[in-house]
């Protein structure tokens, strides 16, 4: 892992300016860096500023974009793509920006029944939102986090006034951008998660749920502009993943178990597949002898803390059990990374595990090997061995 672990804490929602403020407050980059990088983009009539403020007694950074001139016109995806492509931003930052705006465009198009060619950004296509997205991408590239986790996102409730008119909270585009991610309503009757904020967390965060086990090295608070009953802040916690005494990563997991003695092997196999597809870190069946000498199985699932809900839904819907046991367990894991190797049959991803600073395990990805083997008409083992040989060179 090249950089620190980040945990984005969206207890009061998320917006683009809050994201930039929290990153700056955590020590990623500077206002001067953002001014220099934004100067590489061909638009005028803007300036940026930061302010150190207190929100509910918590020191935070407020990031502001000041726009001059007349009311802005909405932009199309092609307008923004051209703006980013013609800029002097680095290739990595341009790639991040284009991917995020592409996500927003697809959500807006679906929400409003339009195509990618005809949909126009309103709030997200304005200069301030463009600056928020570019600034976040610049700061992420400066920080280069190794892992990014995110809490469930507080959405708020009620309605919000947009250029399309009054819409329910979350707005249709926000709901689509956060599809498949954990959310909660929060205690405020207003919009807490904006489309820009939703696009940023859904793009940069790779895991969602509880705070992972790590050694904290810093924290940053980005202040929002709306008045809320609680602190209107986005918090970013920064740290290093905890390592065991012998090396590797210490990880906290929830273990869910239940005994089943009245189900068919086909139903149980299907359930295990569904649990893994829903995000379980692992799921397995152990044969046991139960009461009255009946053969049965113990269904076991490992998942991240805070992600038990969907696993329990599947267990109760797809099995005959009337109850489960849950407990917290600690895993000691190898540090891992994915690399792509070139074999004579095609490219294959391999997972490499590190222990005490040394690479100790190499495992080709099964799905890559399967697809390459089918494409070339060779045995799976042949591709597997070729990937191992390529990785060792």
**Residue pLDDT, tens place only, 164-207:** 779 899 999 999 999 888 899 987 889 999 999 999 999 998 77
Q: What is the pLDDT of residue 115?
A: 80
Would the CA dihedral through 218, 183, 154, 302 be positive or negative?
negative
- The pLDDT confidence band at residue 210, using thresholds 50, 70 and 90, is confident
Q: What is the pLDDT of residue 9?
A: 97
- The pLDDT confidence band at residue 295, using thresholds 50, 70 and 90, is very high
Q: What is the pLDDT of residue 1?
A: 44
- The gap from C-alpha 65 to its chain's centroid, in whole angstroms, comes to 26
Is residue 138 pLDDT above 90, yes or no?
A: yes
Is residue 123 pLDDT above 80, yes or no?
A: no
Q: Which residues pair with 50 in a beta bridge?
A: 63
Distances from the Cα of 332 to the Cα of 242, 247, 248, 252, 338, angstroms:
10, 8, 6, 9, 19
Residue pair 11/154 in contact by the 8 Å Cβ criterion: yes
pLDDT (tens digit per residue) in 21-72: 999 999 999 999 999 999 999 988 899 999 999 999 999 999 999 988 766 6
Residue pair 225/132 in contact by the 8 Å Cβ criterion: no
* Closest listed residue to residue 23, CA positions, set 210, 240, 237: 237
Q: What is the pLDDT of residue 89?
A: 96
Three-state secondary structure string covering 219-270? EEEEECCCCCCCCCEEEEEEEEECEECCEEEEEEEEEEEEEECCCCHHHHHH
Domains in the chain (CATH in brackets) are 5-241 (no CATH), 249-333 (3.30.70.1380), 335-392 (3.10.20.300)
More confidently predicted of 112 and 94:
94
Report the percent of the chain where pLDDT is more than 90.
60
pLDDT (tens digit per residue) in 325-359: 998 887 788 877 888 899 999 999 998 888 877 88
Is residue 244 pLDDT above 70, yes or no?
A: no
């Amino acid at each position: 892992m090249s950089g620190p672990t980040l945990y984005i804490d969206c207890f009061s929602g998320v917006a683009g300016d809050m994201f930039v403020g929290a990153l700056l407050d955590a020590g990623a980059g500077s206002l001067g860096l953002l001014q220099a990088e934004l100067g590489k983009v061909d638009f005028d009539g803007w300036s940026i500023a930061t302010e150190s403020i207190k929100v509910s007694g918590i020191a935070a950074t407020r990031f502001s974009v000041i726009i001059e001139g007349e009311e802005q016109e909405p932009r199309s995806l092609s307008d923004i793509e051209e703006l980013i492509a013609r800029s002097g931003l680095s290739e990595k930052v341009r790639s991040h920006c284009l991917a995020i705006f592409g996500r927003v465009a697809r959500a807006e198009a679906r929400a409003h029944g339009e195509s990618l060619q005809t949909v126009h950004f309103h709030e997200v296509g304005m200069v301030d939102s463009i600056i928020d997205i570019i600034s976040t991408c610049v700061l992420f590239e400066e920080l280069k986090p190794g892992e990014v986790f995110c809490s469930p996102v507080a959405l708020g409730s009620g309605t919000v006034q947009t250029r399309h008119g009054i819409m329910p909270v979350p707005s249709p585009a926000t709901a689509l951008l956060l599809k498949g991610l954990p959310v909660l309503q929060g205690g405020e009757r207003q919009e807490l998660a904006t489309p820009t904020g939703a696009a940023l967390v859904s793009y940069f965060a790779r895991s969602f749920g509880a705070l992972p086990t790590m050694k904290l090295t810093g924290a940053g608070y980005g202040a929002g502009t709306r008045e809320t009953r609680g602190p209107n802040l986005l918090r970013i916690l920064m740290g290093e993943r905890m390592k065991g005494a012998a090396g590797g990563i210490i990880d906290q997991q929830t273990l869910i178990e239940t005994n089943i003695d009245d189900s068919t092997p086909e139903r149980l196999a299907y359930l295990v597949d569904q649990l893994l597809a829903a995000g379980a870190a692992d799921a397995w069946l152990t044969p046991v002898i139960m009461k009255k000498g009946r053969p049965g199985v113990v269904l076991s699932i490992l998942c991240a803390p805070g992600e038990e809900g969907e696993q329990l839904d599947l267990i109760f819907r797809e099995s005959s059990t009337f109850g489960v046991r849950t407990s917290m367990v600690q895993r000691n894991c190898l540090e891992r990374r994915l690399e792509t190797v070139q074999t004579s049959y095609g490219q294959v991803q391999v997972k490499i595990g590190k222990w005490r600073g040394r690479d100790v395990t190499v495992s080709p990805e099964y799905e890559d090997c399967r697809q390459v083997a089918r494409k070339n008409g060779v045995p799976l083992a042949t591709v597997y061995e070729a990937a191992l040989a390529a990785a060792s060179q």
